[in-house]
Amino acid sequence: DAGVTQSPTHLIKTRGQQVTLRCSPKSGHDTVSWYQQALGQGPQFIFQYYEEEERQRGNFPDRFSGHQFPNYSSELNVNALLLGDSALYLCASSSAREGLGIEQFFGPGTRLTVL
């Protein structure tokens, strides 16, 4: 049973570019959440997708957008990259029918470096 997978593992971009990160949820899960973890910090909630719609959003600008596909996989897009966007981006999946829909399983993350 595959857990949460993310691609790519590492990514280097320059300021102003755009980036797309990908996530496949744990088998049986229907909800995907994205978190940003800056160096030395705890993860910060970006947004959550359920039934292909953004259900909840954290305090992040519109440069951060996402998508969920019918197979429950998800993408995180960041436009006009800033140096401060350098971080580990974590995807977490959960099921609306298990663990009160709150228990989240995390992928290994994508390390984004913006130069």
Partner 1 sequence: AQSVTQPDIHITVSEGASLELRCNYSYGATPYLFWYVQSPGQGLQLLLKYFSGDTLVQGIKGFEAEFKRSQSSFNLRKPSVHWSDAAEYFCAVGAGGTSYGKLTFGQGTILTVHP
Interface residues toward partner 1, by CB under 8 A: 4, 31, 33, 35, 40-45, 48, 50, 55-56, 58, 90, 92, 94, 99-109, 111
- Spatial separation of the C-alpha atoms in residues 54 and 72, rounded to whole Å: 12
Find the shortest distance in angstroms from Cβ 6 to partner 1: 8
Residues composing the chain: 115
Terminal C-alpha separation, the chain: 37
* Burial environment of residue 37 by CB neighbours within 10 A (0 to 12, 13 to 18, 19 or more): middle
Least gap, CB of 70 to partner 1 (angstroms): 20
15 vs 57, beta carbon nearer partner 1 = 57
**Is the CB of 82 or the CB of 96 nearer to partner 1?**
96
Give the shortest CB-76-to-partner 1 separation in angstroms. 15
Q: Kindly report whether the peptide bond that precedes residue 108 is cis, defined as omega within 30 degrees of 0.
A: no
